[in-house]
Amino acid sequence: MVIYNSLTRKKEEFKPVHEGKVGIYACGPTVYDFFHIGNARPFITFDVLRRQFEREGYEVTFVQNFTDIDDKMIRRANEEGITVKELADRFIAEYYTDAKALGIHKATVHPRATEHIPQIIALVQKLIDNGHAYVGKTGDVYYRVSAFPGYGKLSGQSVDDREMGASERLDVETDKENPADFVLWKAQKPGEPAWESPWGMGRPGWHVECSAMSMTYLGETFDIHCGGKDLLFPHHENEIAQSEGATGHPYVHYWMHNGFINIDNQKMSKSLGNFFTVRDIAKEYDLEAVRMFMLSAHYRSPINFSRDQIAAAHASLTRLYTARDQLRFLQEKAEDRPLNEEENALLERLQGYEKKFDAAMDDDLNTADAIGAIFELVRDVNTSLTAASAKGAVQAALKSFSGLCDVLGLVQREADALPADIQQMVDDRAAARKAKDWKRSDELRDAIKAAGYILEDTPQGQKVRKNV
C-alpha cells in the first residue's frame, strides 16, 4: 500500500513497524454532544483503511479515543446539572448508536482520557524532567516549545505562527515563558473535576491525552495516526512535540488527514445554520447512502454535501443491492454442474476486478476507483449469468462481490420489514397484477410512492425501498 504522508507531503510505500501488524490511532470525538457530519468522514474513511489492511492479511490494532474531559464538557455538564462522567457516558452510548448506523466497526480499543490519568501524569513528569515542560505559578504545566527544534515539521507552521488549541483556556495566560507554549496539565478551578498530581489537583490538556493513550496501546513509535485536516495544527503538531520530546525517537511514521465537508457549497458552521449532527441527518437520509457518498470521493479531497449528492449515492447503492439480490436469486436457481469455458473465463475476470479494486485501495485509499471496480464486476455478471449458469460460477461472483463490498462497509443490510400498511398495499398490488387489474395495480403503485416508497418490478418479484 502507498499512503500520502502529511509529514513528508508525498506518497510513500507503507512499511509497518512490526512485520504483519499495523498500529493505527484515530482521533475520536469529544463526547459532549452527538457527533456531526464532518466527524463522520474520518470515522468512515479510517474504518475502511482498517478493513483493507485486514483484507491484505495484516493484524490490525485500531485505537480510537474518547475525549471525556475538557472545557466544553464541563460547561455542558454544568448547564444540565449532571457530572461530566454522566454526560460522557450518555454521549459515548449515542456515538455507538450513530457509528453502527453508518456501518463503522468498533475499534480494537476505545480508551477514555479519564481512565488514563496515571499515564498522562507520567508523560508530563517525564517532559518536566528532561526540560521540555515546566510548572507555572498557578500549578498549570506547559510544554516548552523552544526545547523542541522540530516543532512545525508536520504543519509547516513556525513557533511564531502557533495559535492556541481548541481545548486550552479561553482566559489570557500570564505565567507562560513563551506565548507559543501550550498547556499539558491544568490546575483545578472551582467546581471543576480534578485528579491528584505532583503539581496539585488538576486535569489534563487535550493534546497530551492523545499522546498518552496512543503510546499506551501502540508503543512509543507506531505506524499510522489519522484524523480530520482540522486536527493537523495545533493538535497533531503538539502530539509530535510531546511524544518525541519525551521519548527522543519518532512518534508516528505515517500521518493521514481527510479533507473538509461543505454543505451546499458553504463551509459547515453553526453560525450559518448548516451544522448537522449524524442524528439529524438520519431523520432525512439513509445513513448507508451517506457512507456511499463519503467513499465516492477521495478522502483527501473536499466534498460537498447536498441532497442531490445523497440522492445519487442512494441510487448507486440501490444498484448494488439489486445486484446482490439478483445473485442470490440465481444461486437458488442455478444448475449444479461443472463450469463451462465461458464461466471459467468469468472467474478469471472476477480475479481481475479484485486486483483492480486492491490496486485502487493500495493507491492512498482511492475508494472512488475501488467502487468503480465493483460496478465493472456488476455489469459483467449481469450480462454473463442467468438461471441456466453453473451454481459454482454464481457463487464465485457473489463471493467476490460481497467481499469487496464488505471492505467498504456497503451492502450490509438485509431488507427491513415494511410498515404493515405499506406491506398490505404491496400484497394487494401483487394480487391485482395476477388478476391483470392494471388500473388497480397502477393506483396502488402511486399510493405506495406517495407514502415515501419506491416499488420496482424485477424478475424476483416486487422490490420496495424507502425513498431518500
Residues 366 and 451 in one domain: no
Q: What is the mean pLDDT of residues 255-281?
A: 87
Q: What is the mean pLDDT of residues 359-384?
A: 98
Task: Quote the DSSP letter at residue 389.
Answer: S
Label residue 169 by pLDDT band (50, 70, 90): very low
In 10 A of CB 266, how many CB atoms?
11
Return the axis-axis angle of helices 367-384 and 307-333, rounded to nearest 10°.
Answer: 40
Residues 42 and 168 in one domain: yes
Contact status, residue 189 vs residue 219, Cβ threshold 8 Å: no
The reply to whether 309 falls in a domain is: no
Average pLDDT score over the chain: 93
What are the pLDDT digits (tens) for 231-240? Answer: 999 999 999 9
What are the pLDDT digits (tens) for 192-204? Answer: 999 999 999 999 9
Residues 432 and 379 in one domain: no
Q: What is the structure's pLDDT at 273?
A: 78
Residues 244 and 365 in one domain: no
Contact status, residue 435 vs residue 421, Cβ threshold 8 Å: no
Residues 424 and 404 in one domain: no
Answer yes or no: is pLDDT of 174 > 70: no
The reply to whether 310 falls in a domain is: no
Q: Indicate which CATH number applies to the domain containing 399.
A: 1.20.120
Residues 432 and 332 in one domain: no
The reply to whether 313 falls in a domain is: no
Q: Which residue has the cell 431488507?
A: 415
Q: Which stretches of 56-192 are DSSP H helices?
A: 71-80, 84-101, 117-129
Q: Which residue has the cell 446539572?
A: 81
The reply to whether 341 falls in a domain is: yes
Answer yes or no: is pLDDT of 160 > 70: no
Q: What is the structure's pLDDT at 202?
A: 97
Residues 44 and 176 in one domain: yes
For residues 461 and 132, the model is more confident at 132
Q: Which residue has the cell 481548541?
A: 166
Residues 354 and 207 in one domain: no
Q: What is the structure's pLDDT at 185?
A: 98
Residue 461 — φ and ψ, nearest 5°?
110, -165
Q: Residue 66, SS3?
A: strand
Label residue 167 by pLDDT band (50, 70, 90): very low
The reply to whether 6 falls in a domain is: yes
Residues 69 and 197 in one domain: yes
The reply to whether 289 falls in a domain is: no
What are the pLDDT digits (tens) for 26-69? Answer: 999 999 999 999 999 999 999 999 999 999 999 999 999 999 99
The reply to whether 284 falls in a domain is: no
Q: What is the structure's pLDDT at 41?
A: 97
C-alpha cell at 415: 431488507
151-180 as b/e: b if 16+ CB within 10 A: bbebbebeeeebeebebbeeeebeebeeeb
For residues 458 and 120, the model is more confident at 120
Q: What is the mean pLDDT of residues 390-418?
A: 92
The reply to whether 274 falls in a domain is: no
Residues 228 and 352 in one domain: no
**423 alpha carbon, distance to own chain's centre:** 35
Give the span between the Cα atoms of 383 and 385, in whole angstroms: 6
Answer yes or no: is pLDDT of 466 > 50: yes
Query: Which range of residues forms the domain containing residue 378?
Result: 318-408
Q: Which residue has the cell 454464481?
A: 394
Give the residue among 391, 279, 406, 402 at the shortest CA–CA distance from 330.
391
Answer yes or no: is pLDDT of 118 > 90: yes
Residues 363 and 398 in one domain: yes
Q: Indicate which CATH number applies to the domain containing 253.
A: 3.40.50.620
Q: What is the structure's pLDDT at 415?
A: 66
Contact status, residue 78 vs residue 41, Cβ threshold 8 Å: no
Residues 31 and 80 in one domain: yes
Answer yes or no: is pLDDT of 166 > 80: no
Q: How many domains does the chain have?
A: 3
